[in-house]
Amino acid sequence: MITLARRLDGVAPSASATMTQRARELAATGERVISLSQGQPDFPTPPHAIEAAHRAALEGQTKYPPIAGTPALKEAIRRKFLRENGLDYALDEILVGNGGKQVLYNAMMATLNPGDEVVIPRPFWISYADMATLAGGVPVPVDCPAEGGFKLRPEALDAAITPRTRWVMLNFPNNPTGAACSRAEMRAIADVILRHPGVMVLTDDMYEHLLYDGAAFCTIAEVEPALRERVLTVNGVSKTYAMTGWRIGYCGGPRALIRGMANMQGQSTSGASAISQAAAAAALDGPQGLVAERTEEFRQRRDLAVAMLNEAPGIRCHKPEGAFYLFPDVSGLIGRTSGGGRAIGNDAELALALLEEAKVGTVQGAAYGMSPHLRVSYALDRETLREGLARIGEFCRAMR
């Protein structure tokens, strides 16, 4: 009999990955399923990044890479941080991982002792709390209510910090809500952190470039340089350059922390694919015009999706400032019965009914720590998006 480790108790499989897989399984039976559950841009990887990967393969860059990243990619990351964020990290203050997720996991595994607390604004990306738990830490959620635009309130953050707090997580623009953080709002968060000298900040900036309506990006180590030695700034090429499958994330932070994270990575995966690193370097150093073009397309999709969801009976949808997700309130659908005869008692049952009856994949808000909501991704072409949203509207109108 197989007995699993107790560390997996309470750690569930990713809900977004689970819903995406169920959508694939339905599609495999011949159903036309529209998946609004996955955070993956539908755009192609930039051609110059693919060409760089091809050259790297032809040149023999197919051996084990350095654990912390190739010099070429680390140089490109250093230039990126300087150019876009005003942050000057030395090469030994930079780490490359197998996707942003591994970078975050490395950080928690390298720093958390049993009982250490990780303060996480809620709603939060599915994996933050589970990573903290796996590393022996205790997730401490801080509610960011919809009526406040899903923003982190400084007074709520301050109240959540205790002598056991090791990390504060930041993620703006946010997954799942799309909420962004102005410089003034980030300044207020930084002021709280300054009052707690034993607390570090792990900022996930993966959606940095996906901002709309004049919103400007800022990151906490840039806003408050005095925090630089307590901040791990995490980013990657997945969202900005549509390179999810290349699996390249990176970070800049204090030298001792980076050294510990590299040690952790060396005992798990070792270095990321050298060919993928060559592609990522080309993306970071290459033409950036496509980033603005794709952001404008996402803005138009956002506007379409917000309008269509707000026309659906029982749904109220906030208009976010960034990322490519919506997090609509579906409380008006809870306690009702679907057209197919299902009693809808919570948002998980609603997401399942939408998938099996309307053939539209979404993710329940419970997976992100806040119900009753759904996470809806608009990272797919407008025609398909419109069809999926129309199906959601029809499903709502059929409820009783």
What is the reported pLDDT for 294? 97
Taking a C-beta distance cutoff of 8 angstroms, is the pair 222, 85 a contact?
yes
What is the reported pLDDT for 12? 76
What is the reported pLDDT for 19? 75
Give me the domains of the chain, ranges plus CATH numbers: 6-44+290-397 (3.90.1150.10), 47-285 (3.40.640.10)
Taking a C-beta distance cutoff of 8 angstroms, is the pair 163, 195 a contact?
no
The SS3 assignment for 151 reads coil
The SS3 assignment for 131 reads helix
What is the reported pLDDT for 31? 83
- Provide the residue-wise pLDDT of the chain in tens; the chain has 400 residues: 898 988 888 787 777 777 777 778 877 888 899 999 988 999 999 999 999 999 999 999 999 999 999 999 999 999 999 999 999 999 999 999 999 999 999 999 999 999 999 999 999 998 999 999 999 999 999 999 999 999 999 999 999 999 999 999 999 999 999 999 999 999 999 999 999 999 999 999 999 999 999 999 999 999 999 999 999 999 999 999 999 999 999 999 999 999 999 999 999 999 999 999 999 999 999 999 999 999 999 999 999 999 999 999 999 999 999 999 999 999 999 999 999 999 999 999 999 999 999 999 999 999 999 999 999 999 999 999 999 999 999 999 999 9
Q: Are strands 363-364 and 34-35 parallel, antiparallel or unpaired?
A: unpaired
- In 10 A of CB 45, how many CB atoms? 18
The SS3 assignment for 366 reads helix
The SS3 assignment for 81 reads helix
Look at phi and psi of residue 270 and say left if phi exceeds 0, alpha if psi is from -120 to 50, else beta.
Answer: left
Distance between terminal CA atoms of the chain?
47
Q: What is the DSSP string of 237-303?
A: STTTTT-GGG--EEEE--HHHHHHHHHHHHTTT-SPPHHHHHHHHHHHHS--HHHHHHHHHHHHHHH
Query: Which neighbouring-strand residues pair with 250?
Result: 96, 235
- Between CA 329 and CA 319 the distance in angstroms is 12
- In 10 A of CB 205, how many CB atoms? 24
- Between CA 320 and CA 117 the distance in angstroms is 29
- Between CA 158 and CA 165 the distance in angstroms is 11
What is the reported pLDDT for 292? 96
**Token pair recorded at residue 185:** 């709002």
Cis peptide before 372 (omega within 30 of 0): yes
The SS3 assignment for 83 reads helix
What is the reported pLDDT for 191? 98
What is the reported pLDDT for 24? 80
Cα atoms in the 13 Å half-sphere on the side-chain side of 41 = 23
DSSP state of 312: S
- In 10 A of CB 316, how many CB atoms? 14
What is the reported pLDDT for 296? 98
Cα atoms in the 13 Å half-sphere on the side-chain side of 247 = 9
Q: Are strands 231-236 and 374-377 parallel, antiparallel or unpaired?
A: unpaired
Q: What is the DSSP string of 11-58?
A: -PPPHHHHHHHHHHHHHHTT---EE-------SPPPHHHHHHHHHHHH
Q: Which of 349, 316, 366, 362 lies closest to 341, judged by CA?
A: 349
Taking a C-beta distance cutoff of 8 angstroms, is the pair 218, 181 a contact?
yes
What is the reported pLDDT for 8? 85
Q: pTM of the prediction?
A: 0.95
